[in-house]
Amino acid sequence: MIKRVGVAGFDRRALLKVGAAAGLAQVAAPFVISARGEAPIKIGVANPLTGTYAAPGKNESIGMQLAVDQLNAKNGILGRQIELLAEDSTSGDAGAAVQKTRKLIERDNVDFLVGNVNSALAQAMAQVSNEKGVLHIVPGGHTDPITGTDCKWNVFRVCNTTRMEANAVSDLLFKTYGKKWHFITPDYAFGHTLYQGCEADLKKLGGTVTGNELTPLGTTDFSAYLIKARAANPDVLVVLVQGNDMVNCLKQISQFGIDKQIHVAGTQQELEPVEAMPPEARVGVWMFEWYWKQAAGTPGLDQFIAETRKRSGGKVPTARTWFGYVTIHAYALACEKAKTIEAKAAAKALADLELPPEIKLQPNKVYFRGGDHQLMLSAFLGELLQTGDGDPENLFKVNSIVAGDSIAPSVADTGCKMNMPA
């Protein structure tokens, strides 16, 4: 059941579409996803449902709700049903994210917290969750400090760090395209640390940076940055922007014919922007953090795809869907292991916890590393396809799948000094 949280004039039909994860309409007000049963376990979600990162945020919601429904159909968590309370953090307003986080914790009394897609917002939320002693999983904010220099006993992360992303793809780009790189970088925490990781890897490989164009979140016109990039005459133009910015940037690269003059590629790529861009813009070598088209027989994968299609208008799951799915199941696994929902005990249970095959939905060992609370997930390396191969949504050719702990820096190198409370 989905019900409103007293906001006058709110479009209830749009709300129902988002809560059921079947529609794409944007919403700007909070909503509650309720499950049956008394004394439910409340999981608060502050994630973007509007703005540049609306599509990833909504797909994470689909994965979360699928996991909740699966768990509630069985035993919930420790015999209690689960309730998701979701707030629109917006895509880029840290103040709004903090306000929504405090509301979820202080007024709605959530037991656990989820968020955010935006790295800067995830960091801001982590300050609040740590202050309040609430267990917090970041599903999709990538900047290194979250599980590095700013690591906290109560904060875990599902998606890769930016350094893991850089390490996964830098050697491949260098060998495939050349040693002179020019960057288009989002000007906030995620972009800064991702660029730093790529720059460090390129330096080790013996390459050079011809320039780094810092672009504000929500940029629609990339022409000035692309003109500078073309004038620098690099071997490869490395695109680090995400969400709608990725769509706009690659569209304009194609329109200007830059992809015919310079190799275009990048680190993290996602199905949401790839589907939203024209076929001619789908070029280059990239890394997906999870991809739905895998070897036959991957435990649980067919069911996950089928269940997601039912909730998303027939669309396949994306990495974001998987992030949300894993986040909720991770809470359940930790609490069942600890036999309590108490934050400190559940955090200790989650550290070094390995995901079972039907939850990890990929090859290689996938586990939360105890030293920094970072999930070690696989990296799917390959190239974009202009048209679907066997399925309209199969727009990425996976050439290799690399284990997460083979591309992750050591805990000592992350700068994390984990202090678990007594």
pLDDT digits (tens, 9 = 90+) for 105-127: 999 999 999 999 999 999 999 99
Give the pLDDT band (50/70/90) at residue 421.
Answer: confident
Helix axes 12-19, 54-72, angle to 10 degrees: 70
| CA dihedral for 219, 380, 347, 107, sign (positive or negative) | positive
The tens digit of pLDDT for each residue in 258-270 reads: 999 999 999 999 9
Structure tokens at 274: 């790839």
Topology (CATH) of 2-160+300-377: Rossmann fold (3.40.50)
Q: HSE on the CB side for 324, CA within 13 Å?
A: 31
* Cβ count within 10 A of residue 174: 19
Domain ranges within the chain, ordered by starting residue: 2-160+300-377, 163-288
Helix axes 94-102, 119-132, angle to 10 degrees: 30
List Cβ neighbours of 21 (8 Å cut-off, separation of 6 or more): 58, 59, 61, 62, 65, 66, 311, 312
Decide whether 2-160+300-377 matches 163-288 in CATH topology.
yes
Helix axes 223-232, 243-255, angle to 10 degrees: 60
The tens digit of pLDDT for each residue in 125-135 reads: 999 999 999 99
Report the length, in residues, of the chain. 422
The pLDDT of residue 5 = 36
The tens digit of pLDDT for each residue in 169-203 reads: 999 999 999 999 999 999 999 999 999 999 999 99
CATH class of 163-288: alpha beta
Whether residue 243 contacts residue 52, with contact meaning beta carbons closer than 8 Å, is answered with yes
Task: Identify residue 92 by its one-letter amino acid code.
Answer: G
- Residue 265, beta-bridge partner list: 238
| pTM tops 0.85 | yes
Nearest of 171, 364, 407 to residue 285 by alpha carbon: 171
